[in-house]
């Protein structure tokens, strides 16, 4: 971990409090990477949004790559938090429909910038691949969780259905983004919700 430790872990270690510049930098990185893409984003952009002097960034992250890793880790943490909240819902079908509902709610941002994680993963996969596997692992974690829900619904083909659902989300995000039309997200979201209903109540 080192640079990509979560805030919780570092707080437990008792260092780097005071304003939480590190946290602000990571939040800014996630946001600006989403809006501008990784390659177009300069460290100055991130520093400005985080309200941290440019040169000071290097105290927290030795290179731009470390900031990218931290951003990926933040997405991983966000996914864990999301699925944690969804687990509180009574049944797997409701959880999946809530997941889809959350995607649709973000349709305006999706129309502007695409899926926050999908666009990042796509871009990182074209970098001088090092530990970009991390992006793949986050995507895999999402599919794994969805697979678990389909499994609870008693479907033996849970993996295939999970890939189908996540792919549908990524695909409708790409079209929503490329055509700049949030209505695509709404329409396809409704289709997926009906599809879940059809699987849950056959």
What is the smallest separation between the CB atom of 41 and DNA, expressed in angstroms? 6
- Which phi and psi (to 5°) does residue 186 adopt? -65, -50
Count of residues binding its own copies (CB under 8 A)?
Answer: 40
Partner that binds at residue 20, options its own copies, DNA, none, CB closer than 5 to 8 Å by kind: none
Distance set, CA 43 to CA 30, 68, 191 (Å) = 12, 11, 41
How long is the chain? Answer: 202
Comparing C-alpha atoms, which of 173, 147, 141, 145 is closest to residue 160?
Answer: 147
Smallest distance, its own copies to C-beta of residue 187, A: 6
Of 141, 175, 193, 199, the residue at the interface with its own copies (CB under 8 A) is 175
Look at residues 83, 61, 98, 94 and name the one whose alpha carbon lies nearest to residue 138.
83
Query: CB 129 → its own copies: shortest distance, Å?
Result: 9
Quote the distance between the C-alpha of residue 186 and its chain's center: 19
Q: Which of 130, 131, 136, 154 binds its own copies (CB under 8 A)?
A: 136
Q: What is the DSSP letter of 62?
A: S
Task: Determine the Cα–Cα distance for residues 111 and 141; give it in Å rounded to an integer.
Answer: 25
Q: How far is the CB of 42 from DNA (least distance, A)?
A: 3
d(CA 155, CA 166): 16
Q: Which is nearer to its own copies, 170 or 193 (CB)?
A: 170
Joined together, the tokens standing for residue 48 give: 């400005």
As given in the structure block, the two tokens for residue 112 are 């502007």
Minimum CB separation from DNA for residue 1, in Å? Answer: 16
Distance between CA atoms of 150 and 159, rounded to whole angstroms? 8
Closest separation in Å from C-beta 94 to DNA: 43
Query: Which residues in the 44-103 window bind its own copies by CB under 8 A?
Result: none
Indicate the residue among 58 and 178 with the shorter CB distance to DNA.
58
Is residue 50 within 8 Å of 27, Cβ to Cβ? Answer: yes
Residue 193 binds its own copies, judged by CB under 8 A: no
In the list 3, 37, 43, 123, the residue contacting DNA (rule: CB under 7 A) is: 43
Per CB under 8 A, does 139 bind its own copies?
yes
* List of residues contacting its own copies (CB under 8 A): 35-37, 39-40, 113-114, 118-119, 121-123, 125-127, 135-136, 139-140, 143, 160, 163-164, 166-172, 174-175, 177-180, 184, 187-188, 191
């Amino acid at each position: 971990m080192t640079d990509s430790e979560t805030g919780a872990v570092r707080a437990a270690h008792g260092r780097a409090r005071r304003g939480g510049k590190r946290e602000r930098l990571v939040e800014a990185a996630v946001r600006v990477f989403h809006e501008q893409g990784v390659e177009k984003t300069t460290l100055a952009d991130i520093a400005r949004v985080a309200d941290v002097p440019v040169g000071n960034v290097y105290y927290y992250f030795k290179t731009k790559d470390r900031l990218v890793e931290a951003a990926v880790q933040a997405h991983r943490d966000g996914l864990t938090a999301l699925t944690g909240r969804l687990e509180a819902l009574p049944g797997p079908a409701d959880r999946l429909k809530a997941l889809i509902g959350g995607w649709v709610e973000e349709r305006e941002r999706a129309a502007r910038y695409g899926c926050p994680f999908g666009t990042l993963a796509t871009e990182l996969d074209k970098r001088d691949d090092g530990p970009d596997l991390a992006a793949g692992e986050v995507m895999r974690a999402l599919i794994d969780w969805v697979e678990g829900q389909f499994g609870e619904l008693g479907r033996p083909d849970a993996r295939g259905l999970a890939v189908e659902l996540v792919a549908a989300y990524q695909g409708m995000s790409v079209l929503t983004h490329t055509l700049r039309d949030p209505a695509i997200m709404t329409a396809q979201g409704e289709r997926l919700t009906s599809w879940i209903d059809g699987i849950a109540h056959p």
